[in-house]
Structure 1
Amino acid sequence: MKGVLLVNLGSPDSTDPKDVKKYLDQFLMDERVIDVPYWLRAFIVRGIILNTRPKKSAEAYQKIWWKEGSPLIVLSERLQEKVQAKTELPVALAMRYGNPSLKSGLQELHDKGITEVMLVPLYPQFAMATTETIVVLSEELRKEFFPNMKITDVPAFYNKPEYIKALSNSIKDYLADKDYDHILFSYHGVPERHIRKSDVTKSHCNPEAGNLACCNTPSKAHEFCYRHQCYQTTKNVIKELGLDENKVSTSFQSRLGVDPWLQPYTDRTIVNKAEKDGIKKLALVTPAFVSDCLETLEEIAMEGKHEFLEAGGKEFYTVPCINDNDEWVDVLAKWINEFNAN
């Protein structure tokens, strides 16, 4: 019997600094998020970050928290409910960090007699800290607790025409009545070393800022190259909507630590668009996220807007994530029903 497990990033249980600290500990102690030896990761996370960041992060969560709870969790639940209404297969929901846990999601399906699971990481682009960590943990849990269960994971879908069409239409619909000069596609950042580590050829990827030759040269490495997949997502949407390439840019947000992360950085790009390029009306799209969350609602919609206006910009539009958009629901249901038919 088949079933489906949708998996998103996760969220603290509340905006209490204690819950935020617990969440950050689980998130940042993941070896695929901060990929350094355990002793050094523990020193950085538990010796430094968790002594300062939880209070600040809790304040940020308080700005975007809904009455129903965490926006990411609420939106994920809405997506699950809509998808469930369009398929006969049981559809469960889990988070990589926080609750409901991956183990609880697999347990829910197991208790319903499910022996074959379609695992859907809700990330359009592959990355060590997103898709890979979900797939790896799911397999570890399967071996330990559900040995008779088969798991089939859905790979990155950044290049799937039906996804690109749904994403593009959601952008077009939101901006239909907006007057803007430029669109900035902002993706979550990762350290440059993650790109090199994910390079299956061990020789193709060169993630240094400004060097896009490797991203534009066909290679097996692109199957697991986050940067290539981000730029390709932007290209796909430009083509789908017939946008002027000169009025679209790509950047990366949310860096941590002193090591080089993917560039250009979103915060600097936002300021430069206003100060150097004279852009007065800027639209922001965040296609690395399926669901709106802290990074889109606070970091972009609030902080990004403030930075842009301070730098001389006049209008700042944050395009909502694809969330539980009906066309996106139909795409997921289509993939699930195809899985059921095979």
Structure 2
Amino acid sequence: MRDSSPTARCPAHAPADHPAIPSAKTGVLLANLGTPDNHDYWSMRRYLNEFLSDRRVIDYAPWKWQPLLQLVILSKRPFTSGAAYKSIWNVEKDESPLMTITRDQTAAIADSLHATFGDQVMVDFCMRYGNPSTISKVREMVQAGCTRILFFPLYPQYAGATSATANDQFFRALMAETWQPAARTVPAYFEHPEYIEALAQSVETAYAAATDKPEMLVVSYHGMPQRYLMQGDPYHCQCQKTTRLLRERLGWDESSITTTFQSVFGPEEWLKPYTVKEVARLAREDGKKNIAVIAPAFSADCIETLEEINEEIRESFEEAGGEAFTYIPCLNDNPAHISALCSVIRENLKGWIVRPEHRCQVVSI
């Protein structure tokens, strides 16, 4: 998403052959996990190879992990993952829902920020894995005249495998620039009041629309190995706090809401309870026949929500005797969510950018 600022020009007092320089501005670069370009075998293989080769995601020694990945996992998984993506693919736009939603979020945020700051700001998005790449978007922003870039990983809760690896890639992109822009990264916003409010409103809307009020709200977060928590990753604690703040805002007691973790991968123990098992236990042992599931760790609906939660986890609940399953969509481009994200951005732009009407006026003497 390019800006509409004046074209580049030669600096004042510079020789005629000096390269043209665009007017200075501040870039806001949103970042999400990523998406394959298509759901065919080779598109999926390229995407999964990049994703699963990231040492922030899988930290096993390469000599042990790469042969298994290249010879076994990437021979089979592109077929199953491709089928999952195909089931949720945006056929009209020929892209994954994550791409569609992230683009819509970016457009809404750009409109809001431009209304406040005008052409001082340029807003765009990138993906950690796949396209548009972080490196390509940083390059575009520098070429457009961004002397400062605010990098915003769209993960409410910090984790090494999400926020940190997105930041890593941003820093790598900066390393390739001759004239590096000043840079800031946005920290996790898991307890931001507007984010919590947007979550609460989405729950209230879903409950109001339900024929019968769900007996339990399952707050499902993406999982990670238990070992990462022991190594100091704050993700688990930030997830628990998000759930607590959501419960307090809703005014519910602890028996009405529970925290779980999904998307387990590999043989080692991950954060528990596992969502897919817990929803079955709720139906089979606790007699909960009507539940709702929300996924606050995802800023946009994606394969883990549209396919895993709304298909696999729903099936686990129903097979255990559950009757009514409500999936509460991610906040996506909901106006309350866009407002919350813009508030986080404005807070992190302080000292860098001011409203046009607050600029100092130059007076001739």
Regarding TM over 0.5, the answer is yes
SS at match of 1:48: helix
1:181 aligns with: 215
Q: Per-residue displacement from partner, 1:283-312 (whole Å, max 9, x unpaired)?
A: 001111000000000111011111111111
1:22 maps to: 46
Partner residue of 2:227 out of 163, 171, 193 = 193
Question: Does 95-104 or 161-170 show the bigger shift?
Answer: 161-170
Of 27, 33, 38 in structure 2, the residue corresponding to residue 3 of structure 1 is 27
Number of the residue aligned with 2:137: 105
Letter in 2 for 1:294: I
Task: Please give the alpha-carbon distance, in whole angstroms, between the structure 2 residues aligned to 1:258 and 1:181.
Answer: 33
Long gaps (5+) in structure 2: 1-24, 115-120, 352-365
Cα distance in 2 between the residues matched to 1:249 and 1:47 = 39
Rounded to whole Å, the distance in 1 between the matches of 2:31 and 2:55 is 19
Q: Is the 8 A contact 1:183 1:285 kept in 2?
A: yes
% identical equivalent positions = 38
Structure 2 counterpart of 1:221:
none
Superposed CA RMSD: 1.2
CA drift at 1:147: 4.6
Give the superposition deviation at 1:46: 1.2
Alignment-derived partner of residue 3 in structure 2: none
Shift of 1:318: 0.5
- 1:35 aligns with one of 54, 59, 63: 59
Name stretches of at least 5 consecutive residues in structure 1 with no aligned partner. 200-223
Distance, in Å, in 1 between the alignment partners of 2:128 and 2:51 is: 8
What's the counterpart of residue 88 of structure 2?
64
How many pairs align?
317
Aligned to 2:158: 126
Map 1:226-241 onto structure 2 (within 5 A): 226-241=235-250
2:197 paired with 1:165 = yes
Residue 294 (structure 1) aligns with:
303
State the partner residue of 1:330. Answer: 339
Q: 2:284 matched to 1:258?
A: no
How far apart are the structure 2 equivalents of 1:49 and 1:146? 39
CA positional deviation for 1:245: 1.1
* 1:267-288 residue CA offsets vs partner (Å, 9 max, x unmatched): 1101101101100001001111
SS of the aligned residue for 2:56 comes to coil
Greater radius of gyration (CA):
2
Which string of whole-angstrom CA distances, capped at 9 and with x for unpartnered residues, describes residues 94-132 of structure 1?
000010101112112112100111111000111111000
1:141 pairs with 2:163: no
Query: Is the 1:11–1:72 Cα contact (8 Å) retained in structure 2?
Result: yes
> Does the CA contact (< 8 Å) of 2:277 and 2:316 recur in 1?
no
In the aligned structure 2, how far is the partner of 1:83 from the partner of 1:115? 20
Query: CA–CA distance in 2 between the matches of 1:116 and 1:339?
Result: 12
- Cα separation, partners in 2 of 1:83 and 1:268, compared to 1, 3 Å: same
Deviation, 1:141, is: 1.6
1:48 alignment partner in structure 2: 72
Cα distance between partner residues in 1 of 2:346 and 2:188: 18
4+ long deviations beyond 4 Å: none
Q: 1:146 to 1:153 in 2, by over 3 A?
A: farther
Q: Which one-letter code corresponds to 2:101 in the other structure?
A: L
The amino acid that maps onto 1:261 is: W
Shift of 1:237: 0.3
> Does structure 2 conserve the Cα–Cα contact (< 8 Å) formed by 1:175 and 1:319?
no
Aligned in 2, Cα 1:36/1:147: closer, same or farther, shift over 3 Å? farther
Under a length normalisation based on structure 2, what TM-score does the superposition of the two structures give?
Answer: 0.84
- Aligned equivalents of 1:238, 1:146: Cα separation in 2: 49
Q: Deviations over 1:170-189 (max 9, x none)?
A: 22212222221111011000
Q: Does 1:244 pair with 2:267?
A: no
**1:77 aligns to what?**
103
d(CA) in 1 for partners of 2:205 and 2:288?
A: 22
Cα distance in 2 for partners of 1:112, 1:170 equals 37
Specify the SS of the correspondent of 1:169. helix
Secondary structure at the counterpart of residue 115 of structure 1: strand
1:200-239 matches, within 5 Å, as: 224-239=233-248
- TM-score scaled by length of structure 1: 0.90
Aligned AA for 1:50?
L
CA 1:126 to 1:306, structure 2 compared with 1: closer, same or farther past 3 Å?
same
CA distance in 2 between partners of 1:154 and 1:146 (Å): 24
- Give the alignment partner of residue 278 of structure 2, picking from 255, 258, 269: 269
Aligned in 2, Cα 1:154/1:146: closer, same or farther, shift over 3 Å? Answer: farther
